Amino acid sequence: MSTVSFEVPGISCGHCIHTIRTEVGELEGVKGVEASQSDKRVTVEFEPPATEEIIIGLLTEINYPPVM
């Protein structure tokens, strides 16, 4: 199991949190998603076949690109 944490400046409200949790949570291999509105961070616990690159790609696709 791996954990990765991203800064996502586009998080502005509870709807963003809900969208991110739902979309990232549906990725195969993702075991947990935490998204925080106050510090604009997304933390994901995952295992294969999910990868950091796939998670970044999905966040970018749904218009919440992480800042690395």
Chain residues binding Cu ion by CB under 5 A are: 12-13, 15-16
What is the distance of C-alpha 19 from the center of its chain? 10
- For Cu ion, give the closer residue by CB, 13 or 68: 13
Query: Closest distance between Cu ion and the C-beta of residue 48, in Å?
Result: 31
Q: Which two structure tokens, joined as six digits, stand for 24?
A: 């990232």
Q: What backbone phi and psi angles, to 5 degrees, belong to 45? A: -100, 130
CA distance 33 to 25: 6
- For Cu ion, give the closer residue by CB, 35 or 50: 35
- For Cu ion, give the closer residue by CB, 6 or 46: 6
